Amino acid sequence: MNRLMVAVLWITVKGGLNYPFEDPELSPDMFQGDIGIPPLKQRNGMNTALHLWPNRTVFFEIEPNKFRDEHMALIRQAMNTIQEKSCVIFRNATEAERSSSLLITSQNKGCSTLVLGFRNFTNKMNLQLFDPGRGCFRIGSIIHEFLHVLGFEHQHVAQDRDQFVRIAWENINPEFKINFINNDKISNFSSFGETYDYDSVMHYIPTAFSKNGMPTIIPLKEVGQRMGQRLGMSEIDVRKLNKMYKCPGYV
Ligand SMILES: *[C@@H]1O[C@H](CO)[C@@H](O)[C@H](O)[C@H]1NC(C)=O
Ligand SMILES: *[C@@H]1O[C@H](CO)[C@@H](O)[C@H](O)[C@H]1NC(C)=O
Ligand SMILES: *[C@@H]1O[C@H](CO)[C@@H](O)[C@H](O)[C@H]1NC(C)=O
Ligand SMILES: *[C@@H]1O[C@H](CO)[C@@H](O)[C@H](O)[C@H]1NC(C)=O
Ligand SMILES: [Zn+2]
């Protein structure tokens, strides 16, 4: 192999492993890659009623002219999935609700959510335009951002994570080690009685924030092979969302 071939192969392999941060959910300038304002506590899901959407209703506005029909259809599909699997509903914000609604836009790079849960200001979800099925327009990526909006953090900061994954600190780009810290002991976050979920749509890919293309999250059990799927909510994601919003039958 000549040097050029080696270089091309190297780039190809690294690209396949998401090196350095090609995944649009793993932006270097966001907390944990896609959260604008770091949560006070780093755990799995909020159980602070104050920051849950009132009456289990997310009132949103889609910024006009930012999405094509095919993108609108996928955003709608993600909302429908969440509505069908839980008691959470999505509806257009009224004028009066705008100041604490969810604004969905494509104006920035990457896929991200400004802040976890419902706030006293406009939350903002960014979905950079990609062809359907790619990047931020994988259905699971859109659902992932909606679950941040509803109050969930990433799976790997759950309190029980060290029993299920090894964080390979030696492979994490030092600048981004913060994204893997989960040492809060007192907090209003909870896993809602559910076990660590490798299949969660909130789980990182195994090489997230790697400095060398090697895994940063290594499953300790055999069932951990699908980490980072963006196809849809896992069964445990569904249960946790229903428990978070105290849906009928889950209280
Ligand atoms: C957080 O949890 C503590 C202890 O359970 C509780 O006293 C406090 O009111 C909670 N804070 C909020 C904002 O819900
Ligand atoms: C709460 O949501 C339910 C179901 O959509 C609706 O019927 C009801 O009017 C809402 N209540 C308030 C106070 O907004
Ligand atoms: C929600 O708002 C959009 C954009 O203004 C509008 O096209 C749509 O018809 C509205 N949907 C409902 C149910 O009011
Ligand atoms: C929300 O913000 C508004 C305006 O900044 C303020 O008047 C109101 O008291 C705030 N509410 C809460 C619950 O913080
Ligand atoms: Zn995320």
Among protein residues, the one whose CA lies closest to atom 4 of ligand 2: 55
What integer pLDDT is reported at residue 232 of this predicted model?
A: 97
Question: Probe ligand 1: pick from 116, 118, 188, 244, max atoms within 8 Å of CB?
Answer: 188
> What is the mean pLDDT of the segment spanning 15-28?
64
Residue 35: band (very low, low, confident or very high) from pLDDT cuts 50, 70, 90 = confident
Question: Which CATH number goes with the domain that contains 136?
Answer: 3.40.390.10
Collapsed DSSP state (helix, strand, coil) of residue 185: coil
Q: Is residue 28 part of a domain?
A: yes
* Pairing of the two strands 111-113 and 123-127: antiparallel
Domains in the chain, number: 1
Which ligand 2 atom is at minimum distance from the Cα of 57? 2
Tens digits of residue pLDDT in 101-124: 999 999 999 999 999 999 999 999
Q: Is 175 a catalytic residue?
A: no
Query: With the CA atoms of 109, 51, 191 and 241 taken in that order, what torsion angle do they form, in degrees rounded to the nearest 10?
Result: -80
Pocket test for ligand 2, best of 52, 53, 55 (most atoms within 8 A of CB): 55
Which amino acid belongs to residue 123? N
209 is a domain residue:
yes
The response to whether residue 2 sits with its C-beta less than 6 Å from ligand 2 reads no
Whether 101 is covered by a domain: the verdict is: yes
Residue found by looking up tokens 């080696």 in the block:
6
Q: Which residue would you say has higher pLDDT here, 40 or 15? A: 40
Ligand nearest to the CA of 58: 2
Pick the ligand that lies closest to the CA of residue 142: 5
State if residue 89 touches ligand 2 by the CB under 6 angstroms criterion. Answer: yes
Range of the domain at 205: 24-244
H or E, element range at 172 = none
In this prediction, residues 129-136 reach a mean pLDDT of 96
Whether 12 is covered by a domain: the verdict is: no
User: Mean of the pLDDT values across residues 211-235?
Assistant: 92
pLDDT for 20: 43
Tens digit of pLDDT for each residue in 64-73? Answer: 999 999 999 9
Helix (H) or strand (E) holding 240: helix 235-244
What CA–CA distance (Å, rounded) separates 228 from 226? 6
Ligand approaching nearest to the C-alpha of 230: 5
Q: Is 94 within a domain?
A: yes
Q: Where residue 57 falls among pLDDT bands split at 50, 70, 90?
A: very high
Rounded to two decimals, what is the model's pTM? 0.85
The CB of 57 under 6 Å from ligand 1? The reply is no
Instruction: Look at residues 152, 196, 120 and name the one whose alpha carbon lies nearest to residue 42.
Output: 152
pLDDT of residue 55: 96
Q: What is the pLDDT of residue 4?
A: 45
Cβ of 183 less than 6 Å from ligand 2: no
pLDDT at 32: 85
Which residues lie at CB < 5 A from ion ligand 5? 34
Q: Is residue 10 part of a domain?
A: no
pLDDT in tens, 42-54: 567 776 777 899 9
d(CA 160, CA 192): 12
Give domain status of residue 152, yes or no. yes
The whole-chain average pLDDT of the chain stands at: 87
Ligand 2: which residue has its CA nearest to atom 14?
55
Is the shortest distance between the CB of 48 and ligand 1 below 6 Å? Answer: yes
pLDDT of residue 210 exceeding 90, the answer is yes
Q: Is residue 5 part of a domain?
A: no
Average pLDDT (166-185) is 90
Residues of the chain with pLDDT > 90, as a percent, come to 69
Q: Is the CB of 87 under 6 A from ligand 2?
A: no
CB 191 within 8 A of CB 45: yes
